[in-house]
Structure 1
Amino acid sequence: MFIDIDDIRIHYESFGEGEPILLLHGWGGQIESWGPVIPSLAQGRKVYALDFPGFGSSAQPPKPWDVMDYTAMLLRFMDQIGLEKTDVMGHSFGGRVTILLSATAPERVGKVILVDSAGLIPKRTWRYYFKVYSYKALKRVAACRPLAALLKGVGVDAKKIVAKRGGSSDYRALPECMRATFVKVVNQDLRPYLKQIKASALLIWGRNDTDAPVYFGEIMEKEIPDAGLVVLENAGHFAYLDRFGDFDKIVKNYIHFEKRG
């Protein structure tokens, strides 16, 4: 199904019947990224899932967005489909939007489930800062034609090095608008919003998550007033897939799931 929100075509689907729950996928994901989660929850709940603008079958945003833009869009989406209040589950980037939605529009959110959620600024080592600032310096050199030509004369192609080091392969594959969106999103620290979340929150993490480390979940558990953290062993950033059986039981117990029929 498709709807238009501020001239952006949004793809979404709904499954099952019962009390609503809204699923928000991670960066680079789409509705299908939830895998077995949707059909399992749809046995007793009305499940809504959408492709965020810039992902799946939804159109790109008209300009680079930050998490606030995605949250504002989500509220308009909920208004348009008549979803007054709902439980919300967010994975990774979807967790960012869930945090901001829960903090700024508490009347629209029931229970919250954050799965390997992003939203905090990670701890940085000196190696990280050395890499970042050396890259920025080399980028300036590459932009200066005389210096770039001088280096190329001694066998150093600054432009090629900058192109090679300019982010991950996933980042380089993004359209320009989504690259700028990615930069805005990852540099937003949502920690100040945690204390504003009034909803009950279940935090589920994979012990081996390297994208959003377990200490993210530990911080969120301490700072969200009503939160509990469950860490799944032998699971990574996609804990809901790595340990689906356990994940499914934990979530259903938390939302008081009742299977139909």
Structure 2
Amino acid sequence: MEKKQLLFLHGYLSSGEAFAAQTRFFSRYFECFAPDMPAFGKNTEMPYPYALDDYVHWLKDYMKKNGVVRPHVIAHSFGARVAVKAAAEDGTLFSSLVLTGAAGLKPKRTLKYRVNKIRFRLLKKFKSKDKLEKYYSSDYRALSAPMRESFIKIVNEHLEESAKKVKNPVLLVYGENDRETPLYMAKRYKKLIRGSRLVVLENAGHFAFAERVAAFNYPVREFLLT
């Protein structure tokens, strides 16, 4: 009997290798694919600063070239952005989605954030671009100019409307201590995606699938095989 296919989509500044524990575990049930998306891992090709739509286009092209048809998907963080956007555009593209630490929803803005934003706007008027570098996050400072442009395009696209259009079965898996994509985002995704289910893993953060491998794998296996 031919195995169903399982496609892994990694997070930002990561690679398919991030899912090594999952590909080992799930390969007994599925034919697994864990590609490096453009500009990440061993896939250094990004001919111009990609927006989310470009990653969706790349994904569809990758699936076509590799014979990946209606796979189940496990997607983390940025990878979940790509999966949600793609599933919203074409409900027949995937069989089901497991979204872990899924990004893509407009974040809550704390008072500290608002104060810092006003401060940064004032600084921009009086400081040179080079001197402003220290006010950016370390992750952002580490990016090349094309990657920065791509990053800005991606994080400024919010997926509330796309999430409402997802018709596939969806399992959301979040770490209770996730600071990058906090639990309020998980609960919002659950409301936006009709019929979706949420599993919260204790003592886990943004990389719940790597921090608590068995606790992640078993409920995901149950979801994918039933």
Structure 1 segments of 4 or more deviating over 3 A?
none
Q: Is the 8 A contact 2:19 2:34 kept in 1?
A: no
**Offset of residue 140 of structure 1:** 2.6
* RMSD (CA atoms): 1.5
SS in 2 for 1:135: helix
TM-score, with length taken from structure 1: 0.83
Please state if 1:142 is matched with 2:127.
yes
1:197 partner letter: V
Residue 188 (structure 1) aligns with: 157
The alpha-carbon distance between structure 1 residues 179 and 138, as it changes in their structure 2 partners (threshold 3 A), is same
Distance in structure 1 (CA, Å) of the matches to 2:58 and 2:20? 24
Question: Quick check: which one's strand share is greater?
Answer: 1
SS in 2 for 1:106: coil
Q: Which of 160, 177, 184 in structure 2 is aligned with 1:215?
A: 184
Q: Which of 241, 246, 249 in structure 1 is aligned with 2:218?
A: 249
Residue 177 (structure 1) aligns with: 146
Deviates more, 1:95-104 or 1:122-131: 122-131
1:246 partner letter: A
1:188 partner letter: E
Please state if 1:109 is matched with 2:78.
no
Please state if 1:59 is matched with 2:28.
no
**Offset of residue 240 of structure 1:** 0.7
Residue 234 (structure 1) aligns with: 203
**Offset of residue 187 of structure 1:** 1.1
Deviations 1:22-41 (A, max 9, x none): 00000110011113111111
- Corresponding residue pairs, total: 225
1:256 partner letter: L
**Offset of residue 236 of structure 1:** 0.3
Q: Which of 135, 147, 164 in structure 1 is aligned with 2:134?
A: 164
* Contiguous gaps of at least 5 residues in structure 1: 1-16, 144-157
Identity among equivalent positions (%) equals 35
Please state if 1:27 is matched with 2:12.
yes
Distance in structure 2 (CA, Å) of the matches to 1:63 and 1:140? 29
The alpha-carbon distance between structure 1 residues 159 and 47, as it changes in their structure 2 partners (threshold 3 A), is closer
Distance in structure 1 (CA, Å) of the matches to 2:70 and 2:16? 20
* Contiguous gaps of at least 5 residues in structure 2: none
2:184 partner letter: Y
SS in 2 for 1:108: coil
